[in-house]
């Protein structure tokens, strides 16, 4: 009798565990929800808040800009520096995507909205079939259009990015004519496979293929109002950042 | 889940690997002598042992950070301010050194958004709280430091043993 009981129990346990582990299929043409990037790799020196992958050779134009940047991360890192976000200047895209906070997709009739915690940024991705403008005025978060190429893959193309933003905390530059192609492939309810191609001939001699990343649905997370407030950031700089950046043995300023 | 190390003040540099190091050995006291910070009570052999335990992290550390992110140093003191501001919340505490001199430390921590997802509120700390913070001190010896989600192992411990951690509690389904 016991043998019979076990015989019945084993398949039941297998069925139940399979049910727990089963991936719920992705809904069709829907990215709605709060998403967070999974860590993809051991973070290297130069890919903090950046697309990762192999950085292509820079043009002379980009190299000249790069040489002026004084980042807080990477091989050239030093305390202090001129990272724009130290003054609460806009982080820009795609850097904000790699910042350690979840973001939310919301879909309305003619746009997909990508809502970030940092500065409460709402990036509008037009889905009404319009084309990208030929010579757009620069925007901190660019001009973006998107379309579904199948029931689970949303492709975003964008350009017109203000060139004062960095492609990551290590200071890699970009031009205003940079074009991005993002692919968000929702492979199941909880998972998006994300790829990004950066095409910026003014700055890089060939396209920059970002490290593929995985986004996970974060149903228990909420996006907060994460405004970078310059007065608060300046107070922080005076009290902690500047003393921490002093050379060893130097007297504190306060 | 936040990516390790990316929520920190970018003016202070980066980190590759983290480990519990000095913090495993026990609470030390910090003495501010002029412009330097010295560790008392830790004997040289213990310090050497701590450095050996950290060796892997040291070799893996390539950034030029203002903070020593290979170290996890316990600092014990009395909270004077808890500033709940974006993008860097801050904890200030008075720390008494072995000679009785009080030094006010400033500790950079995460944004309210990250702290909220770790279970904190603006009332999690208040002036007068007796705490120990496991932190990454500034390399230059100034009484400033980092403790937050960017460096696992950093945390706040109250006198009664209760802990405030930085890990995201909303990660996962």
The answer to whether the Cβ–Cβ distance between A37 and B3 falls below 8 Å is yes
Q: Which among A43, A46, A99 is positioned nearest to A74, based on CA atoms?
A: A46
- The pLDDT of residue A164: 97
- In the predicted model, what is the mean pLDDT of residues A81-94? 93
pLDDT in tens, B65-106: 688 889 999 999 999 999 999 999 999 999 998 899 999 999
- The pLDDT of residue B172: 76
Tell me the C-alpha distance between B13 and A176, whole Å.
27
pLDDT for residue B55 is more than 70:
no
The answer to whether the Cβ–Cβ distance between B11 and A232 falls below 8 Å is no
pTM metric for this prediction? 0.78
Q: Are B96 and B122 in contact (CB under 8 A)?
A: no
Tell me the C-alpha distance between A51 and A156, whole Å.
16
How far is the first Cα of chain A from the last one, in angstroms, to the nearest whole number? 81
pLDDT for residue B24 is more than 90:
no
Interface test with A, best of B33, B60, B66 (most A CBs within 10 A): B66
- The pLDDT of residue A31: 98
Contacts of B9 in chain A (CB under 8 A): 72, 236, 240-241
Q: How confident is the model at residue A181 (pLDDT cuts 50, 70, 90)?
A: very high
Angle at alpha carbon of residue A98, lines to A94 and A101, rounded to 5°: 125
Instruction: Say if A39 is an interface residue toward chain B (CB within 8 Å).
Output: yes
Give the β-pairing of A191-199 and A208-209: antiparallel
Q: Which among A97, A64, A67 is positioned nearest to A180, based on CA atoms?
A: A97
Name the minimum distance, in Å, from the CA of B162 to any CA of chain A.
24
pLDDT for residue B156 is more than 60:
yes
CA A83 to each of CA A32, A143, B97, B133: distance values in angstroms, whole numbers, following the listed order: 32, 23, 36, 29
Q: How confident is the model at residue B8 (pLDDT cuts 50, 70, 90)?
A: low
Which SS3 state, helix, strand or coil, does residue A79 take?
A: coil
- The pLDDT of residue A44: 65
Instruction: Say if A48 is an interface residue toward chain B (CB within 8 Å).
Output: yes
Omega prior to A94 cis, within 30 of 0 = yes
pLDDT in tens, A184-206: 999 999 999 999 999 999 999 99
B-facing residues of A in 103-162 (CB < 8 A) are 117-118
Give me the interface pTM, i.e. the ipTM: 0.82
Instruction: Tell which wins on pLDDT, A166 or B14.
Output: A166
pLDDT in tens, A94-149: 999 998 899 999 999 999 999 999 999 999 999 999 999 999 999 999 999 999 99
Contacts of A220 in chain B (CB under 8 A): 170, 172
Q: How confident is the model at residue B31 (pLDDT cuts 50, 70, 90)?
A: very low
Q: Which residues fall within 8 angstroms of residue A187, CB to CB, at 6 or more apart?
A: A23, A26, A152, A193
pLDDT in tens, A57-71: 999 999 999 999 988
- The pLDDT of residue A102: 95
Q: Are A94 and A196 in contact (CB under 8 A)?
A: yes
B-facing residues of A in 170-229 (CB < 8 A) are 190, 216-224, 226-229
Q: What percent of chain A stands above pLDDT 70?
A: 85
A-facing residues of B in 51-90 (CB < 8 A) are 62-67, 85-88, 90
- The pLDDT of residue B6: 39
Instruction: Say if B139 is an interface residue toward chain A (CB within 8 Å).
Output: yes
Number of H helices, E strands in chain A: 4, 10
- In the predicted model, what is the mean pLDDT of residues B8-31? 38
Q: Are A121 and A104 in contact (CB under 8 A)?
A: no
Instruction: Tell which wins on pLDDT, A105 or B24.
Output: A105
């Amino acid at each position: 009798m016991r043998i019979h009981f076990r015989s019945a129990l084993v398949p039941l346990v297998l069925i139940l565990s399979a049910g727990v582990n089963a991936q719920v299929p992705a809904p069709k043409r829907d990215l709605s929800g709060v998403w967070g990037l999974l860590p993809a790799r051991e973070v290297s020196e130069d890919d903090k808040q950046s697309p990762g992958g192999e950085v292509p050779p820079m043009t002379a134009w980009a190299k000249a800009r790069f040489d002026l940047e004084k980042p807080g991360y990477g091989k050239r890192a030093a305390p202090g520096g001129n990272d724009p976000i130290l003054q609460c200047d806009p982080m820009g895209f795609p850097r904000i995507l790699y910042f350690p906070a979840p973001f939310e997709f919301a879909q309305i009739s003619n746009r997909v909205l990508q809502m970030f915690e940092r500065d409460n940024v709402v990036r509008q991705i037009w889905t009404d079939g319009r084309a990208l403008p030929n010579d757009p005025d620069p925007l901190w978060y660019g001009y973006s259009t998107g379309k579904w190429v199948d029931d689970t893959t949303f492709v975003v193309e964008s350009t017109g990015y203000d060139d004062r933003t960095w492609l990551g905390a290590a200071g890699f530059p970009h031009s205003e004519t940079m074009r991005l192609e993002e692919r968000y492939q929702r492979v199941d309810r909880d998972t998006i496979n994300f790829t990004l191609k950066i095409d910026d001939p003014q700055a890089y001699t060939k396209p920059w293929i970002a490290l593929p990343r995985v986004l996970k649905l974060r149903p228990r997370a909420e996006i907060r109002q994460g405004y970078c407030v310059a007065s608060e950031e300046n107070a922080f700089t005076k009290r902690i950042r500047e003393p921490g950046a002093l050379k060893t043995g130097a007297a504190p300023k306060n | 889940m936040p990516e390790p190390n990316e929520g920190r003040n970018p003016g202070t540099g980066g980190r590759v690997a983290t480990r519990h190091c000095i913090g495993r050995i026990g609470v030390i006291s910090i003495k501010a002598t002029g412009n330097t910070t010295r560790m008392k009570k830790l004997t040289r052999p213990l310090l050497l042992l701590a450095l050996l335990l950290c060796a892997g992290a040291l070799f893996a550390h390539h950034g030029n950070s203002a903070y020593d992110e290979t170290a996890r140093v316990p600092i014990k003191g009395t909270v004077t301010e808890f500033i709940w501001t974006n993008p860097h919340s801050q904890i200030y505490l008075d720390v008494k050194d072995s000679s009785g001199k009080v030094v006010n430390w400033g500790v950079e921590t995460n944004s309210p958004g990250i702290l909220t997802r770790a279970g904190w509120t603006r009332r999690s700390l208040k002036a007068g709280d007796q705490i120990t913070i496991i932190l990454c001190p500034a390399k230059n010896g100034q009484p400033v430091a980092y403790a937050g989600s960017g460096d696992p192992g950093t945390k706040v411990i109250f006198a009664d043993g209760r802990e405030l951690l930085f890990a995201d509690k909303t990660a996962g389904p």
